[in-house]
Structure 1
Amino acid sequence: MFPETPAAAAALSVATRFYSPALLNHCVRSYLWGTVYAAAHGIAFDDELYYVSALLHDLGLTEAFDSHRLPFEEAGGQLAWVFGVAAGWPVERAARVTEIITLHMRDDVSAATDPESHLLQVASSWEVVGRHPEEFPPDARTELLARYPRLGFGAEFLACFEDQTRRKPDSAAAASVRNDVAGRIAANPLESRPPPISR
C-alpha cells in the first residue's frame, strides 16, 4: 500500500513525531486519495516522491516548524528539501519535493505537467474542502475513513489557518480564510459521520 523505501519510512517517522493525530491521518489520507485518483485517471507518478510530499506537506503548520515569516507551505517545502538531502536524495529530487509542497497551495497544475503536484492538489483540496467529490466513491470514503479517521481534523485545520492568517495576512492560507474556508470545511462531505462498514 505504501512505498517501502528508507526515505518513505523516515517521512512516516517524522510525520508521526511532529503532527497531531488528526494532521497525521490527514497527510496519510492525502497520499491515499491521490493514489485512488491516479488509478482512476491512469496517471503515472513517482510513488516515493508523492508519498514523502504528502506526508510532509503540512509540517509548516506544526509548532516545531512554523515560520513567523514564510507561508506554511513554503516553510514546509524548505524543510522537506533538508529532509530529502539528509535522506540521500540528489538535490534535484529534494527540490522536487519542495516544489510539490509549495504548489499544493497554488493554482492548479495539470497531471501532464507535474503529476505529483497535481495529485497533492486534488487530494488535499478534497480532504479539506470537499472539492470534486465525484472523484471519490462512497465505498472508498467509508473504508479509508474507518482506517484513518478524521479525529476532528476540520476544526483543527481551520484553527491552524486562522492562526496563519493573523500572522501572515498575505499568505495563501489567509486568502482561503477570506474565501470562507470555514464554510467550505463545514460543508465537506468528509466531515459527516460515515455510515458503518457492513460485515
Structure 2
Amino acid sequence: MEKAMTLARVKSVAGVRIADTALCNAAVDLLESCSLAFLCSHCLRTYIFGSLAVRSIGRSVVDEEAAFYGAVLHDLGLVPPYRGDNRFEVDGAEAARDFCTRHHVSPERADLVWRAIALHTSPGIATRLADEIALVHLGAGLDFLGLGLDQVSPQVLEEILAQYPRMKFKSEFRDLLVAHCQHNPAAQVLTWTDDVARTAGCTLHGRPIPTVSQIMAAAPWDE
C-alpha cells in the first residue's frame, strides 16, 4: 500500500503545530495501515485546514490531541476494515471510539472524538458545538468541497499542498464514496450520500435510492 508521510516527521505546517504525542502517532499509524495515500493526505490536510478555519472565526481548540485524531480518523468508515452497516460517519466514529478505548482515552474525550467524526458532514450543527468538533467539520468541508478556500492565502495553500498533495483526490474520493454506497445502499437513504448512490446506479430492493419527496409521497397518511 502506498504510504503518506507520517506527521511525526514535521513539527508544523502553515503555522499549525503538530502534536507529536504517542497517541497522535498511533492515530496516524492506524490511518496509514488501512488507507491509500490520497486518503491519508486528505485527513492530514483536514487537521491543518480545520485549525486555520477555527482560528479565523475567533475560536481556539483546548484539546488539540483529541482534535488531531478526530481529524486523522474521520474517514475510517469508508475503508473496508471499518465499513459496516451504518452511514460511514457513524462507522468511522465507532472505529475511532474503539481506538480511544484501546489507548485508554477517557470516556469524555472518546465521546468528543465520536461526535467530531459522526457530525463532520453536518452543516449548521458541528460549528455550534465544541471547537474540536467544529475543526473537523470545517477542515473536511474545506478540503472536500472547497468551502472557505478563498480565505486561504496562496502561500499558505502552497505550503500545505507541498506537504500533503491532493493526489487526484476528487476522483479517488468519489470512487471511495461509490464503493461505500454500493456496499450499503440502505444506509444512504435520507443522507447527503443518497445523491452519490443514485448517480452511481445503486438500488435498494431492486429500485433506485428514493428521494425525500418520494418517501413523503409514499408515506401511509391521507394528507
**Taking structure 2 as the reference length, what is the TM-score of the superposition?**
0.74
Check the 8 A contact 1:165/1:173 in 2, yes or no: no
- Name the one with the larger helix percent: 1
Distance 1:112 1:72, change over 3 A: closer
Check the 8 A contact 2:97/2:111 in 1, yes or no: yes
In the alignment, structure 1 residue 63 sits paired with structure 2 residue 63: no
Quote the offset at 1:144 in angstroms: 0.6
Q: In angstroms, what is the RMSD of aligned CA positions?
A: 2.0
Alpha-carbon distance in 2 for matches of 1:137, 1:179: 36
What per-residue deviation string (whole Å, max 9, x for no partner) do you get for residues 1-51 of structure 1? 211222111101111111100000000000011111223333111210110
**Taking structure 1 as the reference length, what is the TM-score of the superposition?**
0.82
In the alignment, structure 1 residue 28 sits paired with structure 2 residue 47: no
Larger radius of gyration, structure 1 or 2? 2
Quote the offset at 1:179 in angstroms: 9.9
In the alignment, structure 1 residue 49 sits paired with structure 2 residue 66: yes
Q: Which moved more, 1:97-106 or 1:109-118?
A: 109-118
Q: Which residue of 2 aligns with 1:139?
A: 155
Q: Which residue of 2 aligns with 1:100?
A: 116
Check the 8 A contact 2:116/2:126 in 1, yes or no: no
Match of 2:175 among 137, 152, 159: 159
How many equivalent residue pairs?
A: 179
Distance 1:47 1:171, change over 3 A: farther
Check the 8 A contact 2:77/2:88 in 1, yes or no: yes
Q: Structure 1: which amino acid aligns with 2:64? A: D
What per-residue deviation string (whole Å, max 9, x for no partner) do you get for residues 90-131 of structure 1? 112111111110000223236463211111111111111111
What per-residue deviation string (whole Å, max 9, x for no partner) do you get for residues 122-152 of structure 1? 1111111111222222211111111110111
Q: Structure 2: which amino acid aligns with 1:50? A: A
Specify the SS of the correspondent of 1:37.
helix
Q: Which residue of 2 aligns with 1:172?
A: 191
Alpha-carbon distance in 2 for matches of 1:132, 1:154: 17
**Which protein, 1 or 2, shows the higher relative CO under an 8 Å CA cutoff with sep ≥ 6?**
1
Check the 8 A contact 2:127/2:137 in 1, yes or no: no
Check the 8 A contact 2:178/2:197 in 1, yes or no: no
Q: Which moved more, 1:164-173 or 1:10-19?
A: 164-173
Q: Which residue of 2 aligns with 1:87?
A: 103
Distance 1:101 1:176, change over 3 A: farther
Match of 1:114 among 123, 130, 138: 130
Q: Structure 2: which amino acid aligns with 1:15? A: L
Sequence identity (%)? 25
Alignment gaps of 5+ in structure 1: 181-199
